Structure 1
Amino acid sequence: MVTIKDIAKIANVSHTTVSRALNDSPLIKPGTKKKIIEIASQLNYTPNYNAKSLVTQRSYTIGLFLTSITHGTSSSFFVETVKGVNQIINQDYNLFVRGIDDIRYYSTIHNKRFDGIILMSQSEEDNDFIAYLKEKQIPCVVLNRDIGDPSIINILSNDREGSTQAVKHLLQNGHRTIGLVEGISGFKSSMERREGYLKALIDYNIPIKTEYIIQGNYDMESGYRAIERLLSLDQPPTAVFCSNDDMAIGAINAAFARGVNVPNDISIVGFDDIEFARYTNPSLTTVKRPIEKISTLGANKILQMMSSDNPSEMNGEKIFVETELVIRKSVKPLL
């Protein structure tokens, strides 16, 4: 394996000069830098990040943590999260992805292992992990959930407003009996979307019927089962708001299996606007929640923190990324 010392010998300079040149140091003359880079390229030199880490006291690893990867995180949500972060994190860093529920001991998370952490938080249970990161002064950005801590950079969408907008779209189209398929119990997103649903009904003076509110699990199967239950009622709702698109897709399939037409017999609205939403039959009216954009902003912020001389002293901020109602063909006007 080619080392910095090999390059230094050929270039007739010190290995310190080579190291600085390869790290684009302004202390090295442009001509010398160009010569060293050309030699490194000809020798197919690959940096030894373990050695580099010892010198710089950095791990060159960024952690991307979710509340859980196996429980309550749909494949589309996971892909959008990783995709957004990966667009920004350059080749100088390794990206480590893990669910918090897979961590046995927080003591394995420390500054020598991670230069910074992006947390896609879905539950208040993550608060202990956030407190630990603050205590250990590990640069951290929290996405997706309002944590109410002004000292931390917090990036999220307004799920409650987006849900209200979705249900009001149904109300404006003449629907008065509207079901809700909830997300995982205890998840902040589930509570926010439920609150948005309830607010829309209250604003229109529509009675709230508990039998129309079904617990889901953020996966297609729970959406499928929920619609089966709603369609079995003596008076099924004319429309259903599903707290994410995966459950809405399951709901459309359940209706089809029972010979119920969407949207002629029942209208269905989702939340997230995943890629598959436009390809369902009918195409799904949903709320666009820009997870990829939120993740991209989070990655930019963590890089800014890591490049700061005192990342722990950077001011916290709350950034809202607006949701947007995307109208397609899964809602029938009853007016």
Structure 2
Amino acid sequence: MSITLKEIATKLGVSTSTVSKAINNRPGVSDELRQRIMNLIEEHDLQPKRRNVSQGKDQITNINLLVRMNQAVETDPFYTLITEGIATELQHQRSNLLYYVLSEPKPSDSMFHEMFENQSADGAILVGADYDPRFLHKIASLKIPVVLVDSMHPGFCSVNTDNARGALQAVNHLIDLHHTRIACLSGPLSHNSIHQRYQGYLQGLKDAANQTIPKLIECPGVGVEDGYQAIAALDNIDFTAIFATNDKLAIGAIKALKEKAFHVPKSISIVGFDDIEWGLHTDPPLTTIRIAKQQIGALSAQLIMHLINGDDPHQVDASVATKLIVRSSTSSFDN
């Protein structure tokens, strides 16, 4: 008789991760509990279900990878490299990776059942922002290891960019170029990473004694069109530089500024964030903050494996450093 790890876990009142560790003889399970699990399997002649497990390879870890985004994965230049980093790292970890793309912050009950209750997931990596807290609570109730990427939530391990420091690097670069009126073109501040970047922007202005009052231009989204519409709608442009909380907003802003007859960077300098490939092909090429996207993916994969193996039971919030990449969209401001 076949049975899922979830069904075994329910019978014994433990997590699916614990059952998987016991069956695969991995650390993190007491001898007494391991024996209870094995006894249940033997007494009822049960065979735990596994996916894509070849003969002789009995220590396969099953990981769900969820990516939260509003466009196709293959067209998003930011998360594509993160997921590539995850997949590459897990290739060396004897792991099955089941990939889901979520267009909504809270999947339907049927999709949740397909992703978790109908599968033998040892852990999950959730990439992206705006997951519904109710969805996260539901995942937490499964008692499997979970790592959030580009997001944070109490009780969950996470891997993020050092967003505040990256924004500070961007603002300091503009200040070094003698800009004193620096606007922040931002996505929704409800996004954790965007809020952190905005805080870094504010800190940069605070640290510079000659800075004026911050100017926030908040967009409803984070795409090129959002940046374009936000700048196009301005009747009065009284700043000499823009820090954009991502490259796509910056690219849209450059287009709108050109239509308003502002030269970039002679009239207005602009710095983005993320270092997506599109920024190399703008006119002018975009100064930006580089994120080690594949490193973030690899680190999140390593962390989920540590959690599954019971190596680190405590909450971990890892942060990856950023780097300023100077191109042609910024120049010195001369009064």
- Structure 2 length as normaliser, TM-score? 0.73
Distance in 2 (CA, whole Å) between partners of 1:268 and 1:283 is: 10
Cα RMSD for the two superposed structures: 3.3
Whether contact under 8 Å (1:66, 1:122) holds in the other structure is: no
Closer/same/farther in 2, CA of residues 330 and 56 from structure 1, 3 Å limit = same
Q: How far did residue 127 of structure 1 move?
A: 3.6
Is residue 2:334 matched to residue 1:294?
no
Q: Which amino acid aligns with 1:80?
A: L
Is residue 2:96 matched to residue 1:93?
yes
2:140 alignment partner, one of 134, 141, 156: 134
Of 89-98 and 235-244, the range deviating more from structure 2: 89-98
Distance in 2 (CA, whole Å) between partners of 1:140 and 1:299 is: 10
Partner of 1:10: none
Closer/same/farther in 2, CA of residues 186 and 214 from structure 1, 3 Å limit = closer
Partner of 2:127: 120
Structure ID, larger Rg: 1
Q: How far did residue 294 of structure 1 move?
A: 0.7
Q: How far did residue 63 of structure 1 move?
A: 1.6
Partner of 1:271: 273
Is residue 2:308 matched to residue 1:303?
no
Q: Which amino acid aligns with 1:319?
A: A
4+ long deviations beyond 4 Å: 48-53, 55-61
Whether contact under 8 Å (2:217, 2:230) holds in the other structure is: no
Is residue 2:93 matched to residue 1:83?
no
Q: Which has the higher helix share?
A: 1
Distance in 2 (CA, whole Å) between partners of 1:141 and 1:67 is: 14
Task: Give the alignment of 1:12-31 within 5 angstroms.
Answer: none
Closer/same/farther in 2, CA of residues 52 and 282 from structure 1, 3 Å limit = closer
Q: Secondary structure at the match of 2:138?
A: helix
Q: How far did residue 121 of structure 1 move?
A: 4.0
Q: Secondary structure at the match of 1:190?
A: helix
Partner of 2:326: 327
List alignment gaps of at least 5 residues for structure 1.
1-22, 24-47
Task: Give the alignment of 1:55-94 within 5 angstroms.
Answer: 61-70=62-71, 75-90=76-91, 93-94=96-97
Deviations 1:219-248 (A, max 9, x none): 000111122234x30x43111111100111
List alignment gaps of at least 5 residues for structure 2.
1-23, 25-48
Whether contact under 8 Å (1:69, 1:98) holds in the other structure is: no
Q: Secondary structure at the match of 2:169?
A: helix
Partner of 1:157: 161
Distance in 1 (CA, whole Å) between partners of 2:219 and 2:70 is: 20
Q: Secondary structure at the match of 1:86?
A: helix
1:248 alignment partner, one of 242, 247, 250: 250
Partner of 2:173: 169
Distance in 2 (CA, whole Å) between partners of 1:84 and 1:177 is: 38
Whether contact under 8 Å (1:142, 1:153) holds in the other structure is: yes
- Structure 1 length as normaliser, TM-score? 0.73
Closer/same/farther in 2, CA of residues 204 and 92 from structure 1, 3 Å limit = closer
Closer/same/farther in 2, CA of residues 198 and 157 from structure 1, 3 Å limit = same
Partner of 2:316: 317
Q: How far did residue 115 of structure 1 move?
A: 2.6
